[in-house]
Amino acid sequence: MEGGDRMMRWIQIRSSILILTLACISSCCFLTLSFADSVTKEEAKQLRNEVGEMFYHAFNGYMDNAFPLDELKPLSCKGEDTLGGYALTLIDSLDTLALLGDRERFAASVEWIGKNLRFDMINKTVSVFETTIRVLGGLISAHQIASDYATGMRVPSYDNQLLNLAEDLARRLLPAFDTPTGIPFGSVNLLHGVDKHESKITSTAGGGTLTLEFGVLSRLTNDPIFEQVTKNAVLAIWARRSKLNLVGAHINVFTGEWTQKDAGIGTSIDSFYEYLLKAYLLFGDEEYLYIFKEAYAAAMHYLYHDPWYVEVNMDSAAIVWPLFNSLQAFWPGLQVLAGDINPAIRTHAAFLSVWRRYGFTPEGFNLASLSVQHGQKSYPLRPELIESTYWLYKATRDPRYLDAGRDMLASLQYGTRCPCGYCHISDVEDHRQEDHMESFFLAETVKYLWLLFDLAVGPDNLVENGPYKYVFSTEGHLLPATPQISLVREHCLYYGSYCRSGDLRQTYFISEVDKDKHESNDSRFYGSWTKAKYSSDYTTSEPSAVSGLIKD
């Protein structure tokens, strides 16, 4: 009877997904017929300017009402310390100021941080993950911009102050990695290290999304310790994957046992996949590439139910959670970077249909009930869907992505704008505002919107016109692939690593998942790292190279 109940439940879930997929297809067909309403070049310029005004409304609101506290409360026009008490929003906004070409504010912000920020005065326990991606990443990105004439944003008085702060901060985070597995604790005190009562449970994303920031720091300081500990953490997580090449959501950093075996591409796991590919793109370390290829194949085989993704048990692949959560929306953008365009297009269209249904993407949308998941009704100004929209437009130049960007900008302006900035939406069904603005709104959400419309106008920014290719961190920070950072060939530094065995492609384990692709993934991912197959149904012009870093 229990088996029959499970089968009936599975049939209901598959039926719901099919119904929702058909609805999405109908929506996409409608969009295809509405080219007459597409964004013109002149309108794109106006939209870019509107996004710029959006940034300054929020940035000035923070500086006038919250600085130097971490974040702005945009309804009450007050500030609050939410992470560590180190002017978080200012640090997170630095490279967005540079991207907008605001030399005056960028230089003033760099100088203030260099003179006033001191981590040896902060006796607080902070998230290793959030501190790394927001603060360490913000400092490193701004350092590389402020110190380089080629960016056009060099600060004359700058003398490595941000780099010194970044190194000091990273050393204060290092005690978190002192575990039997090498997977870091989730939190650490900046003065006293890891508390003896600190939880031994951390998320896969929390332990495996530190490689870009720490790796760049190692190359800037010539100290390999930062890169070593973060890569060891990734390898430790991957070594504990299931036979299906899936990883769970939470793991014990002492025993290496999975405490939550739900596998997915969203909450608690998302950026683990992201940094596998981006670490290869930025550093040229092929070990990350081969891990990514296996992990990606498994995700497409077991998690992908075209065009949606579900959560499954990492050992059995049984569906445990038929849910779209908003953090999944980064995935189509990652697929663009990997060259897997067709499923990215379909999945983005599905995710966009949820945004258009509510005006925003809720934190959770149940694919079985076709409704907002109870307890997950909020929209905290997340950037992921906008990020994927930018990457898909960059790859295809399909004007529908500009239409999508225009619609999302309108939703943000009419639904989230408040007296001193932009507010969280506490419930996407009634659009009630909440008195909080995350720093990532300025680091990511506004940044990707601005880049989208600037690309349509004829790009005029350091990312598109600068001397380097850039990899975006998971917080949207700009990490340039300079000769110092991006080596043509990376040597393995770790005993027993795959690349000590000779030819990687001959010696690396090829899983059954790799051999048996999911039937609905028709892009033939493995045969075309640099050239994806595009459907003329979705594009109006030849796709262009995106990262420029993926090697044959």
Q: By the 8 A CB rule, do 529 and 296 touch?
A: no
CA distance 62 to 109: 13
CA neighbor of 480 nearest in space, from 89, 165, 99, 173: 99
CA neighbor of 512 nearest in space, from 303, 236, 294: 294
| Rounded alpha-carbon distances, angstroms, from residue 493 to 217, 484, 510 | 16, 17, 23
Q: What residues contact 5, with CB distance under 8 A and at least 6 apart?
A: none
Q: By the 8 A CB rule, do 342 and 534 touch?
A: yes
CA distance 452 to 446: 10
**To the nearest 10°, the Cα dihedral for 71, 73, 74, 77?**
-110
**To the nearest 10°, the Cα dihedral for 273, 276, 277, 278?**
110
Q: Is there a binding annotation on residue 474?
A: yes
Both structure tokens of 438 = 């995350």
Q: How many CB atoms lie within 10 A of CB 220?
A: 20
Q: By the 8 A CB rule, do 448 and 244 touch?
A: no
CA neighbor of 201 nearest in space, from 254, 130, 136, 240: 254
Contacts of 6-10 with C-beta under 8 Å, sequence gap 24+, read 10/319
* Amino acid in the structure at residue 542: E
Q: By the 8 A CB rule, do 207 and 253 touch?
A: yes
* Amino acid in the structure at residue 522: D
CA distance 193 to 164: 20
Q: Indicate the SS3 state at residue 340.
A: coil
Q: Indicate the SS3 state at residue 251.
A: strand
Number of continuous H segments (helices) and E segments (strands) in the chain: 21, 21
Q: What residues contact 357, with CB distance under 8 A and at least 6 apart?
A: none
* Amino acid in the structure at residue 337: L
Catalytic residues: 130, 270, 363, 384
- Rounded to 5 degrees, φ, ψ at 95 are -75, -20
Would you say how long the chain is, in residues? 552
Query: Is the preceding omega at residue 74 within 30 degrees of 0, hence cis?
Result: no
Q: Residue 61 carries which DSSP code?
A: H
CA distance 528 to 552: 9
Estimate to the nearest angstrom the gap between the alpha carbon of 328 and the chain centroid: 10
Both structure tokens of 354 = 């949820």
CA distance 112 to 210: 26
Question: What region does 548 belong to: left with phi over 0, alpha with psi -120 to 50, or beta?
Answer: left
Residue set of the binding site: 474
